[in-house]
Amino acid sequence: MRFTARELRPVLDEMLARATTELPADVLRAIKEAHAHESKDLAKKQLEAILTSASLSRDRTIPLCQDTGLVTLVISGELINHLTDAEKALEGGVGSLTKKSGMRANVVHPLTRANTGTNIGMDQPEVLIDRSTKKTTMKLLLKGGGSENFSNLKMMKPTASRQDIFEHILNVVIDAGGKTCPPNTLGIGIGGSAIQALFNSKLALLNPVGSKNSDGEVALLESSLMQAVNELGVGTMGLGGDTTVLDLHVAIAGTHTASLPIAISFGCWANRVVVAELKGKKFKIVR
Binding interface with other proteins (CB under 8 A): 41-42, 45-46, 49-50, 52-54, 56-57, 60, 62-68, 100-106, 113, 115, 117, 144-146, 149, 161-163, 165-167, 170-171, 174, 177-179, 181, 224-225, 227-228, 231-235, 237-240, 268-270
Residue closer to other proteins, measured from CB, 84 or 227? 227
Residues ≥6 apart with Cβ < 8 Å to 217: none
Residue closer to other proteins, measured from CB, 26 or 87? 26
- Tell me the closest approach of the beta carbon of residue 78 to other proteins, in angstroms: 35
Task: With beta carbons less than 8 A apart as the criterion, state whether 272 and 278 touch.
Answer: no
- Tell me the closest approach of the beta carbon of residue 135 to other proteins, in angstroms: 31
Closest by Cα among 19, 53, 47, 49 to 33: 47
Residue closer to other proteins, measured from CB, 54 or 278? 54
Largest CA distance in the chain: 53
Q: Measured between alpha carbons, how far is 39 from 88 in angstroms, rounded to an integer?
A: 48
Q: Which residues pair with 73 in a beta bridge?
A: 127, 140
- Tell me the closest approach of the beta carbon of residue 125 to other proteins, in angstroms: 17
Q: Which strands sit side by side in the sheet containing 260-267, from one edge to the other? A: 152-156, 260-267, 184-191, 245-253
- Tell me the closest approach of the beta carbon of residue 233 to other proteins, in angstroms: 6
Residue closer to other proteins, measured from CB, 268 or 273? 268
- Tell me the closest approach of the beta carbon of residue 152 to other proteins, in angstroms: 16
Residue closer to other proteins, measured from CB, 220 or 286? 220
* Side-chain-facing half-sphere of 175: CA atoms under 13 Å: 12
